Amino acid sequence: MTAQPTPAAAPTAAETPLSKACQPGASALAGGPPLANVAAALAQRKQLRILAFGAAPGRISRRGGYTALIESMLARALKGIDVIMINRGVSGELAANAAVRMKNEVALEEPDLVLWQVGTNDALAYVAADEFAATVKEQLDWLKAHKVDVVLVGLQFAPEMLRDAHYIEIRDTLRKVAAAENVPVVRFFEAMQIINRADTDGPGPVADEFERDEAGYNCLAQYVARAITLGVFAKGMPKRVPAAQ
Amino acid sequence: MTREANAVDFWRGFALITIFIDHIPGIVYSHFTLANVSISDAADLFVFLAGWSLRLMADGGGRHMPTRDVMLRLFGRALELYAAQVLITMLAIALLALSATELKNPLLLQWHNAAAVFDDPVPTHIGLAVLTHQLGYFDILPLYVVLMLMAPFFALIDRHAPHWLLPLSLTLYLAVLVFRLTLPTWPVSGTWFFNPLAWQVVFVLGFVFAKGDSGIGAWARRHIKVLRLVALPIVILGVLVHVFDWWPDPIDVPNPKLIFIADKTFETPMRLIQFLALVTVFSVAFPYIRMAAKLPSLNATVDGLIRLLAMLGRNSLYVFCVGSLLSLSAQVVRFVYRGTVGSDTVVVILGILIMAFTAWLAESRQRTRPAGPPASAPAASPRS
């Protein structure tokens, strides 16, 4: 999707707004480190190439779905920038397999930014936390070495998983690795947990849960778009969250 | 009457068990499959042997078959594969929905690209029907369907201009690598996990190498000893690449990058060459395995193994379909029982037993059928 070009030499930014339903979850999002390579690419090429990995790119809806929402929000926020979203998500893939595939896709597609939703499948498949940490760290180091920025997207939320010690361990491991590597991570699990708490007193039927989860991906797209714009302009997370129009 | 155990059925059975295990992410036994010591994996073997079987179908099992009959037979086969794909996909979706409901966990509805079915069912059901939406680990059969739709053209070229088939296939393969041609997915944007335009080369290689009396198949058989000497270091190098992590950095290789990197989607040359080397080296193995079955100390074990794998291979479509659903069921079981070595062992043993039962059932059904004219079932015709 191409936004209206502007004559300015550098891209201008607008806040990517959060819808009212998604605002409670924003308190679980931390201000991330700057996305220096993305900022440089925007200034030089007026183009942002994003490679999406993980289960989230497989989420679609009549309104367009996860990647389309991010693309349109970024196109609005980054005036004059051509935003190109490349979807290579494979849901169900372990981090180790995704890492191998990602290297090839990065070489072929030459993205400025990788969006990587990771951890859920490793948690569900009981991959050891240290093995998972080593895989993610190695991949983040490789991406850094090749000047490709990353925004990590954390584990998916389901109320039942709060009782799963391994799931929580993988969630926390991802957060620790991201902090150690100074990479922004959208803490999807925590954000959805907050929204869920505000929305319901407890888990309902699976169908309701799925609908809530579908709405959660709408929020996730907003959080990711916000993390990217904040990373580009390195402002840190604003204290007051503007509501969507 | 079932055919005798042969190398093709034996190795196809091996590929089926390997695929079953490889499709259970995180299972302890996945550390011991071909993919851990080889650049190629069981998927390459499965497609190559599908091409090999195509030779038997296209040549009519030694009897002359009119071209029109061959075409109809191959299109019919593609339709059969398509029906199998639609059936197992619907069962897989039902299995995920049942598991999510019983375990009260909506995460299971999102496994393996299933989320789109529940997110936006109207376009996704169209995508499922036209194979542009594929569930994760249920993406080999769509490749096989497309290859079987291409098969009548392969068979036609092979009948009228046999020396042109492999060069044409290789030309398409190279064009795919250079221009990165692929098939898109829809409604979720992306590309096919197995690119049929690239994988057709494995299928065609199986087809041409299966012909033993002329062409490259005859040439390979005449020079098999020399070829094995060339192939062995390549196989060893493949093992070393895995053990010492000698994979080339895809960023550093020259353009067109797909020529130089190891990529499954595009079945890149590194994978293809290593696979052909593997086939060349292991083509010697089956006769020795048979000889081992005659040793008193190994007789029961090895003979049982040969008969089991050959039976799976003879009924590979049924076994593949059941195996795919078993892999998905095994993932749910691992999720519930937390994937211990014990539960993994039970899962693998039960899975193989059920696959064996499926093959036995298919053969029993065939044995109890009233005898028909032999033309409808040539001895070497794969029901796979």
From A76's Cα to the closest Cα of chain B, the distance in A is 21
Alpha helices, H only, chain B = 7-22, 42-58, 67-102, 115-119, 121-129, 140-160, 162-179, 196-209, 215-222, 224-243, 269-282, 285-292, 299-314, 316-337, 341-368
Nearest of B138, B111, B101, A52 to residue B128 by alpha carbon: B138
pLDDT at A219: 86
- Subunit contact B258:A108, Cβ cutoff 8 A: yes
pLDDT at A241: 40
> ∠ CA B147-B151-B156 to the nearest 5 degrees?
155
A139 in contact with chain B, both atoms CB, cutoff 8 A = no
Q: Give the integer Cα–Cα distance in Å for B281 and B40.
A: 14
HEC per residue, B137-169: CCCHHHHHHHHHHHHHHHHHHHHHCHHHHHHHH
> Which residues in chain A have Cβ-Cβ distances shorter than 8 Å to B265?
101
Residues 310-339 of B with CB under 8 A from A: 331, 334-335, 338-339
Residues 72-131 of A with CB under 8 A from B: 87-94, 97, 101, 103-104, 106-108, 120-122, 124-127
Model pLDDT for residues B263-321, shown as the tens digit of each residue: 999 999 999 999 999 999 999 999 999 998 888 888 889 999 999 999 999 999 999 99
Give percent helix, percent strand, percent coil of chain A, each to the nearest 5. 55, 15, 30
Nearest of B161, B44, B343 to residue A125 by alpha carbon: B343
pLDDT at B288: 92
Based on the number of CB atoms within 10 Å of its own CB, is B376 exposed (0-12), middle (13-18) or buried (19 or more)?
exposed
pLDDT at A240: 39
A210 in contact with chain B, both atoms CB, cutoff 8 A = yes
Model pLDDT for residues A173-203, shown as the tens digit of each residue: 999 999 999 999 998 888 888 887 766 655 5
- Subunit contact B188:A166, Cβ cutoff 8 A: no
The token duo for B154 is 């392969």
Model pLDDT for residues A83-140, shown as the tens digit of each residue: 999 999 887 889 999 999 999 999 999 999 999 999 999 999 999 999 999 999 999 9
Bridge partners of A79, per DSSP, are A12
Residue of chain B minimizing CA distance to A166: B338
Q: How far apart are the first and last CA of chain A?
A: 21
Q: Give the integer Cα–Cα distance in Å for B133 and B111.
A: 14
Model pLDDT for residues B93-151, shown as the tens digit of each residue: 999 999 999 998 888 888 888 989 988 899 999 999 999 999 999 999 999 999 999 99
Average confidence score pLDDT of chain B: 92
Predicted TM-score (pTM) of this structure: 0.89
Quick one: DSSP state of residue A243?
A: B
Q: How far apart are the first and last CA of chain B?
A: 16
- Subunit contact A203:B338, Cβ cutoff 8 A: no
Nearest of B66, B90, B84, B227 to residue B148 by alpha carbon: B84
Is the model's pLDDT at B240 over the cut of 60? yes
- Subunit contact B104:A55, Cβ cutoff 8 A: no
Model pLDDT for residues A67-80, shown as the tens digit of each residue: 888 988 898 888 88
